[in-house]
Amino acid sequence: MSLAPYRQVLAVPGVRALLLVGVLARIPATAVGITVTLHVATTLGRSWTQAGLVTAAYTIGVAVGAPVLGRLIDRRGLRTVMVLTTTVSAAVWFAAPHLAYLVLLPAALVAGLFGVPIFPAIRLALAAMVPSEQRRPAFALDSMIVELSFMVGPALAVVLATSLPPGYGLDALAAGMVVTGALIYLLNPPTRTEGQPIPAAPPPRRTWFDRRLVVILISAVAATIILSATDLTIVATLREADAVRWTGLAIALWCAYSLIGGLIFGAIHRPVSAVALVAAMGLLTIPVGLAPSWKWLVVALIPAGLLCAPTMVANNDTLTRIVPESSRGEATGLLGSALTAGTAAGAPFAGLVIDNAGTAWAFAAAGAVGALAALVALATRRRAAVAEPANA
């Protein structure tokens, strides 16, 4: 495997600074869920179900707000959106420690609607800064940074929530959001190719929201259903095996497999369909539950784990090629909504299967649902090819 594609990407002016900011800025975003959950369950003394409802409200807000904020980036530019979202996010999270539960619930929804769009901002900037033939390794580098952020963010949130006085964890989250917004504002990376003006009106949505984009969105939902369900089922499996203390290691290895897969995928030039990657990941997840022990489970996760980041990279790369640059912010927001929807659906789906059939069947069910969704996406793509042979 040659690392030359990565060296070429990192040689592009501004990319190194963008990726470095991406490492720091994503940590608060990955810490939101666990910070809010621990605050509601411990500081407010509410049930885990009530804590989950607050997190769900935030997640719904993110899913609804992402394409709206993306469209605003397309029309008004990144800095305008950063000022708006940083202000609202800081106001909500600094106020959150002082809010009663019934007020915190809608406040979390507002925080999600106006969440700082760090994930789409970085990807839009990479697409604008890097030539199209180098976007796969660029997105692969970004996916590896995401994995690192998910390794650090939730763990840091737990440390802050358990070591600081009540409510200070949310204050730290708010401060992190301010730092995130300020970093992106000051860096001000481009979200469109140099020399491309902001159009007076974006192209009609019907000109780019076609079956090809639907395929990407279905693929994204399927992939994150598998990932979210797998995360929860790993935790449940280790709990059944009385090995809870090793859960962090198991999840970290699961993330490491994805990181390695992204590294390999970004260095190859052969085109690979995101739909094929999702289908393979689903099929390889089905037999994971047959592992005789949690140690073998960690090994059994390797094949599917290696495909996690490549799937995300392929989706982002394809989106940048089929959506016009002037609408890429909104399309990236829609992709973010699809990822959020799959994440939100995967965990409760796995929980339902675990409660009624056991952890082994949860892996099988998650893999089967993901593979089935990939088949639906494949059928949609074939219909698109028939309907639009010139674009096939």
Whole-number pLDDT of residue 383:
65
Query: Tens digit of pLDDT per residue, the chain (392 long)?
Result: 678 889 999 999 999 999 999 888 899 988 888 888 888 888 898 887 788 888 889 989 999 999 999 999 998 899 999 999 999 999 999 999 999 999 999 999 999 999 999 999 999 999 999 998 899 999 999 998 888 888 888 888 878 877 888 888 899 999 999 999 999 999 999 988 876 666 666 778 888 898 889 999 999 999 999 998 898 888 888 888 888 788 778 888 988 999 999 999 998 888 888 899 999 999 999 999 999 998 999 999 999 999 999 999 999 999 999 999 889 999 999 999 999 999 888 888 888 898 888 889 999 999 999 899 888 888 877 765 555 544 43
- pTM summary value: 0.86
Whole-angstrom distance, CA of residue 308 vs CA of residue 288:
15
Amino acid at 220: A
Query: Which two structure tokens, joined as six digits, stand for 200?
Result: 């007076």
Q: Which residue matches tokens 């204050």?
A: 171
Residue 242, judged by CB atoms within 10 A of its CB (0-12, 13-18, 19+), counts as exposed
CATH code reported for the domain at 1-193? 1.20.1250.20
CA torsion sign for 282, 312, 81, 160 is positive
Which pLDDT does position 178 carry in this prediction? 94
Amino acid 391: pLDDT: 40
Task: List CB contacts of 113: < 8 A, sequence separation 6 or more.
Answer: 61, 62, 64, 65, 68
At 93, list the tokens: 């999270």
Class of 202-392 in CATH: mainly alpha
Q: What is the pLDDT of residue 61?
A: 94
Instruction: Match 């090995």 to its residue by tokens.
Output: 243
Q: What pLDDT score does 387 carry?
A: 55
The tokens for 149 are 């952020």
Q: Which runs of consecutive H residues, i.e. helices, occur in the chain?
A: 4-10, 15-38, 48-76, 78-95, 101-113, 118-129, 135-163, 168-187, 211-240, 247-267, 274-285, 294-300, 302-305, 308-322, 328-357, 359-387
For the stretch 151-181, pLDDT in tens is 888 888 878 877 888 888 899 999 999 999 9
C-beta of residue 384 within 8 angstroms of C-beta of residue 210 = yes
What is the reported pLDDT for 196? 64
For residue 221, the model assigns a pLDDT of 93
Written as one string, the DSSP assignment of 150-211 is HHHHHHHHHHHHHHSPTTHHHHHHHHHHHHHHHHHHHH---SS-TTPPPPSSPPPGGGT-SH
d(CA 269, CA 2): 11
The whole-number pLDDT of residue 45 equals 87
Residue owning tokens 């089929």: 322
Domain with CATH 1.20.1250.20 in the chain: 1-193, 202-392
Residue 166: its pLDDT value, please? 84
Is there a contact between 22 and 145 (Cβ–Cβ < 8 Å)?
yes
pLDDT tens-digit series, residues 321-362: 999 988 999 999 999 999 999 988 888 888 889 888 888 999
Confidence at residue 199, expressed as pLDDT on a 0 to 100 scale:
63
